[in-house]
Amino acid sequence: MFVLLDNIRSAWNVGSIFRTCDGAGVGKLYLTGYTPYPPRQDISKVALGAEENVPWEYHADPLKLIKKLKRQGIKIVAVE
């Protein structure tokens, strides 16, 4: 399972999601748009090292990323 975050303003929320992804065994976390991404002290403070354990990538354009993932055969499910 992969997780994609788009335009999340709070670095603290991003850090918390890194921890959640680490605990859930998420394969990769994609950060897109204006979502803050490591290295940032405010993310690291909340993530407690999870940002080092969870594979992640930053992409400015979420739609391009989604199209790329679909071409790779990955099923996309959205939650708001």
Residue-level pLDDT at 78? 86
Rounded Cα distance between 11 and 19, Å, is 13
Quickly state the pLDDT bin for 44 (edges 50, 70, 90).
very high
The secondary structure of residue 36, as a DSSP letter, is -
- Could you give all domains of the chain from N- to C-terminal order, each with its CATH number? 2-71 (3.40.1280.10)
- Residue 6, beta-bridge partner list: 32
Q: How far is CA 71 from the centre of its chain?
A: 20
More confident residue, 79 or 48: 48
